[in-house]
Amino acid sequence: MIWQAFREWRQNRILRRHALPTDAWESTIAALPLMKGLSPDELRRLRELTTLFLYHKDATAAAGHHLQEDVRLKIAAQACLPILNLGLDYYAGWVSVIVYPNKFVPEHRYMDEAGVVHVTRDIMIGESWERGPVILSAADAERSGNLDGVNVVIHEFAHKLDMLNGRADGYPPLHRGMSSAAWSQAFSRAYEDFCNKVHAGMETAIDPYAAENPAEFFAVLSEVFFETPKVLLQQYPEVYRQLAGFYRQDPATRLC
pLDDT in tens, 32-57: 999 999 999 999 999 999 999 999 99
pLDDT at 118: 46
Q: How far apart are CA 130 and CA 114, in angstroms?
A: 25
pTM score of the predicted model: 0.91
Q: How far apart are CA 97 and CA 60, in angstroms?
A: 6
> Within 13 Å of residue 159, how many CA atoms lie on the same side as its CB?
23
- Tens of pLDDT, residue by residue, the chain (256 residues): 777 777 887 887 888 888 899 999 999 999 999 999 999 999 999 999 999 999 999 999 997 788 999 999 999 999 999 999 999 999 999 999 999 998 876 655 555 566 555 455 567 788 999 889 999 999 999 999 999 999 999 999 999 999 999 999 999 999 999 999 999 999 999 999 999 999 999 999 999 999 999 999 999 999 999 999 999 999 999 999 999 999 999 999 987 6
pLDDT at 28: 97
Listed in sequence order, the residues at least 6 apart from 140 whose beta carbon sits closer than 8 Å to its beta carbon are 102, 103, 125, 126, 152
pLDDT at 106: 64
Order of strands, sheet of 58-61, starting from the edge strand that comes earlier in the sequence = 58-61, 96-100, 134-137, 126-128
pLDDT at 6: 72
Q: Which domains does the chain have, with CATH numbers?
A: 169-256 (3.40.390.10)
pLDDT at 107: 54
Listed in sequence order, the residues at least 6 apart from 169 whose beta carbon sits closer than 8 Å to its beta carbon are 162, 214, 215
pLDDT at 140: 94
pLDDT in tens, 219-254: 999 999 999 999 999 999 999 999 999 999 999 998
